[in-house]
Structure 1
């Protein structure tokens, strides 16, 4: 099953997450099919904290991909802010 979830990057104590479409059997930070966006919880000032490509998210959901609970929360917060 394809799942849309966060893949952690960044330095120690400075997390940065890529929002990726991947097979659910792959490791969290392992191989993925496509990068859909990013989430930077440490963003401050003019830095962008969340970016999701809406067209690609809609495509993957259309072909049956499931959102992880955290990504679902981020997508809902982005829609509410827009």
Structure 2
């Protein structure tokens, strides 16, 4: 029997509350489970002590007996020091999309053109100014 350490959702609509349970992989998310070993309340602030509570002894027992934690539960267990979890990092996720990159390139090109035009305008009147003064006299 393949076992998972996973979350079973509880709570009411728009007020989630999760139980950390040991369940057969074939059972439904909120259905039958073998043992409840903790809970997670995402509505509490991140620094709250009661946000995540897991019975570490039971979790260690089930991991030794072949239970595999899901990604979210693995995070909790890694914070408790029970499981080593590789840090996942997707540097491309934070990059803007194609159209946003095109708009940014157009904006930079316009700024460069405006800066070049301003530099030319600043240089050109300085040369023409003495001629205008001479014509005014």
With structure 1 as the length reference, what TM-score do the two structures score?
Answer: 0.88
Map residues 50-65 of structure 1 onto 2, 5 A cutoff: 50-65=52-67
Aligned residues: 79
List alignment gaps of at least 5 residues for structure 2: 82-137
Map residues 1-82 of structure 1 onto 2, 5 A cutoff: 1-44=2-45, 48-79=50-81
Structure with the largest fraction of strand: 1
Output the CA distance in 1 between the equivalents of 2:9 and 2:61: 23
With structure 2 as the length reference, what TM-score do the two structures score?
Answer: 0.54
1:13-59 per-residue CA deviation (whole Å, 9 max, x = no partner) reads 11000000000000000000000100001014867111000000000
Shift of 1:75: 1.6
Shift of 1:60: 0.1
Q: CA RMSD of the aligned region, Å?
A: 1.5
Larger Rg: 2
**SS at structure 2 position matched to 1:16:** strand
Which runs of at least 4 in structure 1 moved beyond 3 Å after TM superposition?
A: 44-47
List alignment gaps of at least 5 residues for structure 1: none
